A and B are shown apart, each in its own frame.
Chain A
Amino acid sequence: MGRARPDTFVAERSPNRLDMSLSFSLKTVGGSAICLLLCSCGGPSGEEGAVTKTDTLAADPTTDPSVMKVGGKLFSLPSPVQTALLIRKLGLEYKQDLVVPNSMLDAMTTRNSKALAMGMYGADLAYLTMYKDGKRAVSTLQAIERLGRELNVGNAFDQPLMERFKNNLNNEDSLLLLGSAAYQAADRYLKSNERADISALVLAGGFVESLFLSTSSPGALKDQNLANRIGEQKTTLGNLIGLLRDQADQEGLSALTTQLVELNELFSGIARTYEYAEPVTEASTKTTYINSTSTVSITGDQLKAIATKVSAIRNSILA
């Protein structure tokens, strides 16, 4: 059984990346030319009624450049909305000055810094929405729209979205849905257009900002539930580092990756346990109840060290 080659995640590291790229390019060029010839020549459509299953890939999937350049597995980063929901659920005080000021926008001049900022503003948007700061949420969405335009992430953050957002300021559910759906559409556009590097940086920015909001909210470091949630992101952080190491622009990303590796070292001291328990499935409601148990042990000192490091990473992104 083979493993597929997803279009994001950890690549097999090779010192001969250039050689591989060249080799790949040649394969692609040759393969494409052959494909073109075959397509233009047409051919028998097969015996009538003989087709019982579909092959939607006209060619070997390994000839698709958007897939060829990566290997390993896909992974999911927790949505910043989930963190914002938890912050509010725990009753932590709202602080408007925690979010990235819109005045920082002009300082974001490089592609990488814009992509990171786009992720950070996304996490801020969820936080502002949760605390019903509509005015600031709208201005944050305007910042996101500008970054999206400058990064060319498709039309996910277009004027109609802005209008829908403004028209639903009193409807938290709609705002969360609109923001998340727009980020998903942008992610899809980027991945469909071979720009997974931008997608990765947007995710990284959102991850750092979510951690910052959860560790910097007043009273956060005293709340065990929030501490646990931070500790539970140990695996995610490891995956994120892998994702960034997979991107072509290693020079531009080295400072961020190094800082995240240092953060990961602080996470390495967090202990997690897992105990399997039989899940229960209700077929009628298409629902499975996952009853396995898990624990996370994170000390106050570990949490403080993580909070300090996250703040430093965030500052260096915004510097």
Chain B
Amino acid sequence: MTIRYTAFLIAAVIGSAGAVAQSGSICDPIAEQCQRHITEQYIPDGQFYRTLLNGDETAEFDLTLFGGTTYRLAACSGNGDGSLFFSVVDKKGNVLFSNRDHGSGPYWDLVVANTIDVSVEAQLDPAKAGSGCAVLMIGFKK
């Protein structure tokens, strides 16, 4: 009984560590890939946004975009670009941009005239991924 319990405990600890490591190991290569889209013209905002998505789940990222600024948003998932749909939506529900209209490209620039609160909604392309890590990165021009 004691041996079985110990074996279970060891398995559980290893398994738990694996689960923790899972998000890191899945998201890290995607982050590396996504970071390439925030080129040297853009200053990173200093934060890292990620979430795990399953099926048709939607991740929502709230941002305040300051007027007079050009932002670059990069949104990535999976092994290559174009696995993630993302849209920029204002607080009244108006879609300001959607990469579905542009070949699900992994990055886009937003030139913001006046400060605005928006949400970035991200969803896996069901044709390319059933589940995965969604990474969002933000940079801005000086």
Contact = CB atoms under 8 A, between A and B. Distances in A.
A285 B109 CA distance: 8
B4 to A, nearest CB: 12
Contacts of A32: 11-12, 14-16, 18-19
B47 A187 contact: yes
A130 B11 CA distance: 53
Given A32-B12, A61-B52, A77-B47, A294 B114 contact: yes
B40 A288 contact: no
B43 A176 contact: yes
A108 B126 CA distance: 48
Nearest to B92: A276
A35 B12 CA distance: 9
Contacts of B55: 2
Contact of A79 (B19, B45, B53, B79): B45
Given A180-B44, A286-B107, A294-B115, A31 B19 contact: yes
Interface in A82-137: 82, 85, 122
Interface stretch (A188-196, A251-259, A309-317): A188-196
Residue among A85, A232, A290 having the largest count of chain B Cβ atoms under 10 Å: A290
Nearest to B115: A232
B58 A64 contact: no
Nearest to A57: B131
Residue among B18, B96, B97, B102 having the largest count of chain A Cβ atoms under 10 Å: B96
B116 to A, nearest CB: 6
A30 B63 CA distance: 38
A65 B64 contact: no
A53 interface: yes
A292 interface: yes
Contacts of B47: 76-77, 183-184, 187, 203
Given A33-B12, A53-B130, A188-B31, A287 B111 contact: yes
Size class of the A contact interface (CB-based, 8 Å): 35 or more
Given A193-B24, A286-B107, A31 B140 contact: no
A66 interface: yes
A131 to B, nearest CB: 15
Interface string B37-75: 000100111111111111111111111111101000000
B60 A3 contact: yes
A204 interface: no
Contacts of A276: 90, 92, 94
Contacts of B127: 52-53
Nearest to A173: B142
A285 B132 CA distance: 29
Nearest to A6: B51
A61 B26 CA distance: 11
Contacts of A60: 54
Contacts of A319: none
Residue among B45, B94, B105, B113 having the largest count of chain A Cβ atoms under 10 Å: B45
Given A55-B132, A61-B52, 13 more contacts: A4-B134, A37-B11, A53-B129, A54-B130, A57-B26, A74-B51, A80-B46, A191-B50, A276-B90, A276-B94, A286-B102, A286-B108, A294-B115
28 contacts: A28-B12, A28-B16, A32-B14, A32-B19, A35-B19, A52-B127, A55-B129, A56-B131, A56-B132, A57-B52, A60-B54, A64-B52, A74-B59, A78-B64, A78-B66, A80-B46, A82-B140, A177-B40, A184-B46, A188-B28, A232-B115, A233-B64, A274-B117, A281-B102, A287-B109, A289-B113, A290-B111, A293-B114
Interface of B: 8, 11-12, 14-16, 18-20, 22-24, 26-28, 31, 40, 43-67, 69, 77-79, 88, 90-92, 94, 96-97, 101-102, 105, 107-117, 119, 126-134, 136-138, 140, 142
Interface of A: 1-8, 28-33, 35-37, 52-61, 63-67, 73-82, 85, 122, 173, 176-177, 180-181, 183-184, 187-188, 191-194, 203, 206, 228-229, 232-233, 235-236, 239, 274, 276, 279, 281, 283, 285-294, 296
